[in-house]
Amino acid sequence: MVLGLLSKKEGIGWIEDLDADVLGLQEIKAKPEQVPAKLNKLPGYKVIWNSAERPGYSGTAVFYRDEPKSVSLGIDYPMFDEEGRVIRLEYPDFFFFTTFISRTVVKKTAVCPKNCSFTPNFWKKLKNFTKAGNL
């Protein structure tokens, strides 16, 4: 996905034009060493990658300007965390999540039993997170 975006005529210009403080990408399908160096060194941004263990599969990334208080990868469910589905950044006044939810959840394909269980587990984690007074 990331490589596809970069191969288009615009390259990474759209990220610079967006001028976001925090930008989350989902379904990146790449590891940091697979993307052009210019994406890892985008002026004014730092980047966090949460790539899937399986090559060319899912994954998330966050570009950010201001250093967060903390960063968390995943939701503490190894079967999902190995897919790089979630990154959470904690800032003084808010939390930023970027989350990849597979289309198979909507399409109900053969792999749906695993993918369909991600969403309820993610919401359960989020509810526990809010009950702890984090949101």
| Fold adopted by 2-101 | Deoxyribonuclease I; Chain A (3.60.10)
Q: What is the pLDDT of residue 72?
A: 94
Q: What is the pLDDT of residue 113?
A: 55
Cα separation, 115 vs 123, in Å, equals 14
Of 49, 58, 72, 63, the C-alpha closest to 12 is 63
Q: What is the pLDDT of residue 81?
A: 87
Query: What is the block-wise mean pLDDT of the chain (135 residues), using blocks of 10 residues?
Result: 55 79 91 85 91 89 96 88 92 91 59 65 76 63
Q: Could you give the dihedral angle defined by the CA atoms of residues 87, 92, 93 and 95, in that order, rounded to the nearest 10 degrees? A: 10
